[in-house]
Protein backbone atom coordinates (compact mmCIF):
# COMPACT_ATOMS: atom_id res chain seq x y z
CA UNK A 1 0.00 0.00 0.00
CA UNK A 2 1.49 3.32 -1.10
CA UNK A 3 1.85 5.90 1.66
CA UNK A 4 2.64 9.61 1.34
CA UNK A 5 3.85 11.41 4.46
CA UNK A 6 3.37 15.19 4.41
CA UNK A 7 5.51 17.38 6.66
CA UNK A 8 4.28 20.99 6.50
CA UNK A 9 7.11 23.47 7.12
CA UNK A 10 6.52 27.18 6.65
CA UNK A 11 9.33 29.30 5.32
CA UNK A 12 7.96 32.44 6.97
CA UNK A 13 8.42 32.99 10.68
CA UNK A 14 5.87 32.00 13.30
CA UNK A 15 4.22 34.86 15.17
CA UNK A 16 4.30 33.14 18.58
CA UNK A 17 7.74 31.51 18.31
CA UNK A 18 9.97 33.51 15.91
CA UNK A 19 11.88 31.34 13.41
CA UNK A 20 10.47 28.29 15.18
CA UNK A 21 11.12 25.68 12.49
CA UNK A 22 14.82 26.50 12.17
CA UNK A 23 15.92 27.95 15.49
CA UNK A 24 18.44 25.92 17.56
CA UNK A 25 16.99 23.39 19.98
CA UNK A 26 19.35 21.30 22.10
CA UNK A 27 22.14 21.19 19.54
CA UNK A 28 20.29 21.12 16.21
CA UNK A 29 17.57 23.00 14.33
CA UNK A 30 14.07 22.61 15.81
CA UNK A 31 12.59 20.80 12.80
CA UNK A 32 15.42 18.27 12.64
CA UNK A 33 14.18 16.43 15.72
CA UNK A 34 11.31 14.92 13.76
CA UNK A 35 13.05 14.94 10.38
CA UNK A 36 15.96 12.86 11.67
CA UNK A 37 13.54 10.21 12.94
CA UNK A 38 11.67 10.17 9.63
CA UNK A 39 14.89 9.86 7.64
CA UNK A 40 15.34 6.43 9.24
CA UNK A 41 12.01 5.12 7.91
CA UNK A 42 13.04 2.47 5.40
CA UNK A 43 9.71 1.29 3.93
CA UNK A 44 10.10 1.71 0.13
CA UNK A 45 6.37 2.35 -0.31
CA UNK A 46 6.45 5.38 1.98
CA UNK A 47 7.33 8.65 0.28
CA UNK A 48 8.11 11.55 2.61
CA UNK A 49 7.44 15.10 1.42
CA UNK A 50 8.51 18.44 2.83
CA UNK A 51 5.49 20.67 2.06
CA UNK A 52 6.23 24.39 1.96
CA UNK A 53 5.35 27.62 0.17
CA UNK A 54 9.00 28.29 -0.60
CA UNK A 55 12.07 26.42 -1.80
CA UNK A 56 14.02 28.36 0.82
CA UNK A 57 13.24 25.71 3.44
CA UNK A 58 15.55 23.31 1.61
CA UNK A 59 18.48 25.52 2.57
CA UNK A 60 17.80 24.67 6.22
CA UNK A 61 17.86 20.90 5.71
CA UNK A 62 20.83 18.59 5.95
CA UNK A 63 22.23 16.75 2.93
CA UNK A 64 20.74 13.56 4.37
CA UNK A 65 17.28 15.14 4.50
CA UNK A 66 17.49 16.41 0.93
CA UNK A 67 18.40 12.93 -0.31
CA UNK A 68 15.68 11.13 1.65
CA UNK A 69 12.75 13.53 1.31
CA UNK A 70 10.79 14.80 -1.67
CA UNK A 71 9.54 18.37 -1.94
CA UNK A 72 6.03 19.70 -2.54
CA UNK A 73 5.66 23.40 -3.34
CA UNK A 74 2.26 24.63 -2.22
CA UNK A 75 0.45 27.83 -3.10
CA UNK A 76 1.34 30.68 -0.70
CA UNK A 77 -2.35 30.86 0.37
CA UNK A 78 -1.81 27.65 2.33
CA UNK A 79 0.95 29.24 4.42
CA UNK A 80 -1.33 31.96 5.78
CA UNK A 81 -3.13 31.84 9.13
CA UNK A 82 -6.51 31.14 7.50
CA UNK A 83 -5.29 27.77 6.22
CA UNK A 84 -5.71 24.84 8.61
CA UNK A 85 -4.56 21.23 8.68
CA UNK A 86 -7.47 20.06 6.53
CA UNK A 87 -6.61 22.56 3.82
CA UNK A 88 -2.95 21.58 3.90
CA UNK A 89 -3.49 17.85 3.52
CA UNK A 90 -6.24 18.15 0.91
CA UNK A 91 -4.23 20.43 -1.40
CA UNK A 92 -1.33 18.03 -1.12
CA UNK A 93 -3.46 14.98 -1.99
CA UNK A 94 -5.04 16.72 -4.98
CA UNK A 95 -1.58 17.33 -6.45
CA UNK A 96 0.00 14.05 -5.31
CA UNK A 97 -2.96 11.78 -6.03
CA UNK A 98 -1.29 8.39 -6.58
CA UNK A 99 -1.17 7.23 -2.94
CA UNK A 100 -3.48 4.96 -0.95
CA UNK A 101 -2.89 6.59 2.45
CA UNK A 102 -1.93 10.16 3.32
CA UNK A 103 -0.16 10.95 6.59
CA UNK A 104 0.28 14.42 8.05
CA UNK A 105 3.09 14.91 10.57
CA UNK A 106 4.16 18.11 12.30
CA UNK A 107 7.71 19.03 13.33
CA UNK A 108 6.23 20.61 16.47
CA UNK A 109 5.77 17.06 17.83
CA UNK A 110 9.38 17.03 19.00
CA UNK A 111 9.01 14.06 21.37
CA UNK A 112 7.10 11.73 19.03
CA UNK A 113 9.17 8.54 18.52
CA UNK A 114 9.71 6.92 15.15
CA UNK A 115 8.35 3.65 16.54
CA UNK A 116 4.94 5.21 17.19
CA UNK A 117 4.91 6.79 13.73
CA UNK A 118 5.65 3.41 12.15
CA UNK A 119 3.11 1.54 14.24
CA UNK A 120 0.34 4.07 13.67
CA UNK A 121 0.75 4.06 9.89
CA UNK A 122 0.92 0.26 9.81
CA UNK A 123 -2.18 0.12 11.99
CA UNK A 124 -4.28 2.00 9.44
CA UNK A 125 -2.69 0.29 6.44
CA UNK A 126 -3.69 -3.14 7.77
CA UNK A 127 -7.22 -2.17 8.86
CA UNK A 128 -8.64 -0.02 6.05
CA UNK A 129 -11.62 -2.37 5.79
CA UNK A 130 -12.73 -1.23 9.25
CA UNK A 131 -11.30 2.31 9.51
CA UNK A 132 -10.81 5.12 7.01
CA UNK A 133 -8.53 7.30 9.14
CA UNK A 134 -6.40 7.42 12.29
CA UNK A 135 -5.07 10.06 14.64
CA UNK A 136 -3.11 10.12 17.88
CA UNK A 137 -4.88 10.75 21.19
CA UNK A 138 -4.19 10.75 24.90
CA UNK A 139 -6.61 9.71 27.62
CA UNK A 140 -7.58 12.55 29.95
CA UNK A 141 -9.44 12.08 33.20
CA UNK A 142 -11.64 14.78 34.76
CA UNK A 143 -14.69 16.95 34.25
CA UNK A 144 -14.53 19.03 31.09
CA UNK A 145 -16.42 22.12 29.93
CA UNK A 146 -16.55 23.96 26.62
CA UNK A 147 -18.46 27.18 25.86
CA UNK A 148 -19.87 27.06 29.40
CA UNK A 149 -21.36 23.60 28.86
CA UNK A 150 -20.31 20.35 30.51
CA UNK A 151 -18.96 17.82 28.05
CA UNK A 152 -18.78 14.52 29.90
CA UNK A 153 -21.28 14.72 32.73
CA UNK A 154 -24.63 16.27 33.66
CA UNK A 155 -23.95 18.70 36.54
CA UNK A 156 -27.61 19.71 36.97
CA UNK A 157 -28.96 16.18 37.55
CA UNK A 158 -28.57 14.35 40.90
CA UNK A 159 -27.58 11.17 39.07
CA UNK A 160 -25.58 12.98 36.40
CA UNK A 161 -22.26 12.69 38.23
CA UNK A 162 -20.52 9.38 37.37
CA UNK A 163 -17.49 8.02 39.18
CA UNK A 164 -14.35 10.05 38.55
CA UNK A 165 -12.60 7.01 37.01
CA UNK A 166 -15.37 6.96 34.40
CA UNK A 167 -14.85 10.62 33.47
CA UNK A 168 -12.48 9.79 30.63
CA UNK A 169 -12.16 11.81 27.43
CA UNK A 170 -9.79 11.56 24.48
CA UNK A 171 -7.66 14.51 23.40
CA UNK A 172 -6.05 14.89 19.97
CA UNK A 173 -2.30 15.30 20.18
CA UNK A 174 -2.19 17.04 16.74
CA UNK A 175 1.06 15.19 16.04
CA UNK A 176 -0.03 12.67 13.41
CA UNK A 177 -3.07 12.13 11.20
CA UNK A 178 -3.55 9.42 8.59
CA UNK A 179 -6.42 8.90 6.14
CA UNK A 180 -7.23 6.92 3.02
CA UNK A 181 -7.28 8.71 -0.34
CA UNK A 182 -11.01 8.16 -0.93
CA UNK A 183 -11.98 9.52 2.49
CA UNK A 184 -9.71 12.55 2.18
CA UNK A 185 -10.77 13.53 -1.33
CA UNK A 186 -14.44 12.96 -0.54
CA UNK A 187 -14.57 15.10 2.59
CA UNK A 188 -11.61 17.45 2.31
CA UNK A 189 -10.80 16.65 5.95
CA UNK A 190 -7.96 14.74 7.59
CA UNK A 191 -10.33 12.72 9.82
CA UNK A 192 -12.85 10.47 8.12
CA UNK A 193 -16.20 9.06 9.22
CA UNK A 194 -14.66 5.86 10.68
CA UNK A 195 -11.55 6.97 12.59
CA UNK A 196 -9.25 4.86 14.74
CA UNK A 197 -8.24 6.55 17.99
CA UNK A 198 -4.59 5.60 18.46
CA UNK A 199 -3.71 6.10 22.12
CA UNK A 200 -0.19 7.14 23.09
CA UNK A 201 1.52 8.04 26.41
CA UNK A 202 1.39 11.67 27.46
CA UNK A 203 5.18 11.98 27.28
CA UNK A 204 5.02 11.57 23.49
CA UNK A 205 2.09 13.94 22.94
CA UNK A 206 3.94 17.19 23.56
CA UNK A 207 3.46 19.92 20.90
CA UNK A 208 5.40 23.19 20.70
CA UNK A 209 3.14 26.17 20.05
CA UNK A 210 4.43 28.94 22.35
CA UNK A 211 7.69 30.17 23.83
CA UNK A 212 6.74 28.48 27.10
CA UNK A 213 6.33 25.20 25.18
CA UNK A 214 9.75 25.73 23.61
CA UNK A 215 11.41 26.17 27.00
CA UNK A 216 9.71 22.99 28.19
CA UNK A 217 10.90 21.15 25.06
CA UNK A 218 14.47 22.28 25.77
CA UNK A 219 14.21 20.77 29.23
CA UNK A 220 12.67 17.49 28.04
CA UNK A 221 15.07 16.94 25.15
CA UNK A 222 18.05 18.11 27.17
CA UNK A 223 17.39 15.35 29.69
CA UNK A 224 17.26 12.74 26.91
CA UNK A 225 20.48 13.70 25.17
CA dist 159 and 128 (Å) reads 40
Residue pair 50/7 in contact (Cβ under 8 Å)? The answer is yes
pLDDT tens digits in sequence order for the chain, 225 residues long: 999 999 999 987 677 788 889 999 999 999 999 999 999 886 878 999 999 999 999 999 999 999 999 999 999 999 888 999 999 999 999 999 999 999 999 999 999 999 999 999 999 999 999 999 999 999 999 999 999 999 999 999 999 998 888 888 999 999 999 999 999 999 999 999 999 999 999 999 999 999 999 999 898 888 876
Beta bridge partners of 136: 198
- What predicted TM-score, i.e. pTM, was given to this entire model? 0.93
Residues 6+ apart with CB under 8 A from 185: 90, 93, 94, 97
Residues 6+ apart with CB under 8 A from 86: 188, 189, 190
Domains of the chain: 3-137+171-224 (3.90.550.10)
Amino acid sequence: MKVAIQIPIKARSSTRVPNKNFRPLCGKPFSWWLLDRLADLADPDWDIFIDSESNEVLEHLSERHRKRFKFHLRDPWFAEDHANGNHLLHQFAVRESSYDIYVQLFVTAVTLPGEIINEAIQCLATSVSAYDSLFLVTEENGWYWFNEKALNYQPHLPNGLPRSQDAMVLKETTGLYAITRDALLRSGCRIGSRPYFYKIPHEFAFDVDTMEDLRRAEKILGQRT
